[in-house]
Amino acid sequence: MDAYKLWVRKNRDLVRSLESLANGVTWILPERFGNSEIAPEAVYALLGIVSSVNQHIIETPHDGQEQSIPWPLVVSILKDAEAVVEVAAQHFVGDDRKWGFLAVTEAVKACVRLAAFRESGYRMLLQGGEVENEEEDVVADNHGVKSNGVPVIYPMNGHAQNGHEIGSNGLDGKPGFISKSLEGRAVAALNKFGQNAKMMSDPMWMTRLQPTPVLPVMEVEKPTLATIWSSKGVSGRLFMLGEAVHIFRPLVYVLMIRKFGIKSWTPWLVSLAVEITSLGIHSHATDLNHRAGKVHHLSSAERDELKRRKMMWALYVMRDPFFANYTKRHLEKAEKVLNPVPLVGFLIGKLVELVEGAQSRYTYTSGS
């Protein structure tokens, strides 16, 4: 496995080119969207999983410490596997009963995304959790305070924690931290200079007899839901609520389809309402921050993610019953008009065939 990781990192451009070529070929496989054909979908899912694993290898430093569970990779694998679950369920139990299996898959994905949401410190999920939301650098003011009000502490020995300790043996006797203030750094420097002078004045034999002091390891406590909930304020709580609503939207959608059927307008409308509610909660949380005179805390990646979620609303024209009543009719009209045109008519016909085939799969239109 180590040899494969090394090869992927050295040939990342070649790996990505091969993945793009293989994924493109799968779209023109015979029976790509056949009701009883599982093999092409399984091949496509397998290629997607391999691509996700390779991307995870490339993005992970060779000497870096990987987290216990790479949640973005797990989310990507589940999304690829869901297509196989849908096709297999449709083949073995039929169209009407496949929604139970899809509901279970969406429930598992929702749990994984909640775990990723918690692991990230309750930051916004990017690309549905497939991309890790890395915190941007925060500029501190003259008082050593971040824009969100958290004091900035410069760590020693690779550890950091909010507090006011200074020096290797500071004013309050706690080792390991230096205050950002000028006075604190001056006191720390004098204190360390005194310690060095004392060590130089001691006889060598006394130094050897003295035990080597072991500095206690200061570990950063991971924020819990209770601490985050109490510290974020009203706007932060609204943000967390909006993110939770967004995570559960696909599960709500498939449960509505399971109950009312794919041709009913109820799942379509409920899913749209949940989507609007999630973005509305995020927008309201931002407005509260502006009214309170606070700095907008969303990073550039998070602002792009909100734009992406709004663009995903375009999938509603691909979902039944809207597609069957409106979109399909316009596609057929465009195909009839352009069909006599050489080459263009062929390409349009192939495009319409692929669109109708992809639309028949919940996996490709659910936006989950």
Q: What is the pLDDT of residue 168?
A: 42
Overall domain count for the chain: 2
Residue 358 is assigned to a structural domain of this protein: no
Q: What is the pLDDT of residue 269?
A: 97
Final residue of a domain: which of 199, 231, 263?
Answer: 231
Region label for 134, one of left (φ > 0), alpha (ψ between -120 and 50) or beta (otherwise): beta
* 29 in Cβ contact with 40 (< 8 Å): yes
Residue 349 is assigned to a structural domain of this protein: no
One domain, residues 14 and 60: yes
pLDDT above 80: residue 4: no
First to last CA, the chain: 31
Q: What is the pLDDT of residue 361?
A: 87
Residue 170 is assigned to a structural domain of this protein: yes
> Between 250 and 3, where is the model more confident?
250
Which residues have CB under 8 Å from 170's CB, separation 6+? 177, 187, 188, 191
pLDDT tens by residue, 182-213:
445 555 555 554 555 544 444 544 444 455 55
One domain, residues 113 and 182: no
- Strand partners for 258: none
One domain, residues 115 and 143: no
Residue 295 is assigned to a structural domain of this protein: no
One domain, residues 2 and 44: yes
One domain, residues 167 and 112: no
Given pLDDT bands bounded at 50, 70 and 90, which one contains residue 224? low
Given pLDDT bands bounded at 50, 70 and 90, which one contains residue 78? very high
One domain, residues 13 and 66: yes
Final residue of a domain: which of 65, 89, 119?
Answer: 119
Final residue of a domain: which of 55, 87, 119?
Answer: 119
Residue 343 is assigned to a structural domain of this protein: no
One domain, residues 175 and 211: yes
- Model-wide pTM > 0.75: no
One domain, residues 43 and 144: no
One domain, residues 154 and 103: no
One domain, residues 1 and 81: yes
| Helix axes 12-26 and 2-10, enclosed angle (nearest 10) | 90
Given pLDDT bands bounded at 50, 70 and 90, which one contains residue 145? very low
Across 161-194, b (16+ Cβ under 10 Å) vs e yields: eeeebbbbbbeeebbbbbbbeeebeebbeebeee
One domain, residues 157 and 87: no
One domain, residues 172 and 66: no
Mean pLDDT, range 132-160, rounded to an integer: 45
Residue 90 is assigned to a structural domain of this protein: yes
Residue 300 is assigned to a structural domain of this protein: no
For residue 211, what are the domain limits?
A: 137-231
Cα 337 to Cα 349: distance, rounded to the nearest angstrom: 11
Residue 237 is assigned to a structural domain of this protein: no
Neighbouring C-beta atoms of residue 209, cutoff 10 Å: 9
3 state SS of 177:
strand
